[in-house]
Structure 1
Amino acid sequence: MTTTEVQKQVRTREVTAPEVVPFGWEPTGPAGTEPAGEEVLFRFPAADDPAPGARRLLGMSIYAAVLGLAGVGIGVRGLVSQIGGGVPGWYTWVLAFLGMVSVALSVGAFLSIHRRVLPWLLLLAAAVPLTADIMLAVAY
């Protein structure tokens, strides 16, 4: 094999989904086709995917923005409580963990935007740890 052929092979190498997303969210079969019988719940939108509806995207974005603003408010309240003193050592860690769980569920909702019900269930589920965050922030 000549050097030119090797260079051509290196340049024309395809990048498959497992190299980009190593978590198995985008299973691919031979030549980039999806295996039969497997349904992918979370995936980055492909170039040939239809665009989600404007109302759906706007509704999800507004709901996620409300969750985000509530999270910022809780973060400010937690910071004030931490500066003021008198909070247990686990307070900050639990507050941050619950906030990150809420963010992860919101991200999952947007990654599953092409599903019918799953994004809304994930956004509703994201409100649960945020509600626990609010109750924890009010308690201290």
Structure 2
Amino acid sequence: MTTVEKDRTTRTEAAAIMPFGGWESTPTGTASADDEVLFRFPAPDDPAPSTARLLTLALWAAGLGFSALGAGALAMADVLGGAAFWYVPTLAFFGLLSVVMAAASFLSIHRPVLPWLLLTCATGPLAVDILIAVLY
């Protein structure tokens, strides 16, 4: 029985035009050896992130999620009571912005500072969501 190993340095043409350095690295194309990929799914040969790092990221993201759940419950009560036309799209925009940044923090878990920066930035739109839901 033989094992076939896929080379990690291959990529598609679409990766060359993606922002943030694309999703994978390659020795061909316009990318140089110094280009680093910011967002990517971990490869099988990547070292596992530390348990403390992953747990802290997960707890922070869970805190964001539970806070969003509370804001969503307040928003639902406001919508059922009759809300302005701008209310739901505004809450949806800031909520989705927060979710995208939280998801990106997990895709950049192998970076030293980027996940923490993304989770900090994800807290801002969620705080705006909470303020809108509470003060409306």
TM-score when scaled to structure 2?
0.82
Partner of 2:46: 49
Unaligned runs of at least 5 residues, structure 2:
1-6
Partner of 2:37: 40
Partner of 1:25: 23
How many positions carry a matched residue from both structures? 123
Partner of 1:103: 99
- Go from structure 1 to structure 2 and tell me whether the alpha carbon gap of 1:110 and 1:20 turns closer, same or farther (over 3 Å shift): farther
Post-superposition shift, 1:20? Answer: 8.6
Post-superposition shift, 1:19? Answer: 7.0
CA RMSD for the aligned pairs?
2.2
Give 1:112's aligned amino acid. S
Unaligned runs of at least 5 residues, structure 1:
1-13
Post-superposition shift, 1:76? Answer: 1.5
Counterparts of residues 1-140 of structure 1 (less than 5 Å): 16-18=10-12, 23=18, 24-30=22-28, 35-85=32-82, 87-140=83-136
Q: Which is richer in helix?
A: 1
Provide Cα deviations, 1:86-134, integer angstroms capped at 9, x if missing partner: x210100000110000000001110110011110111011000000001
Higher Rg: 1
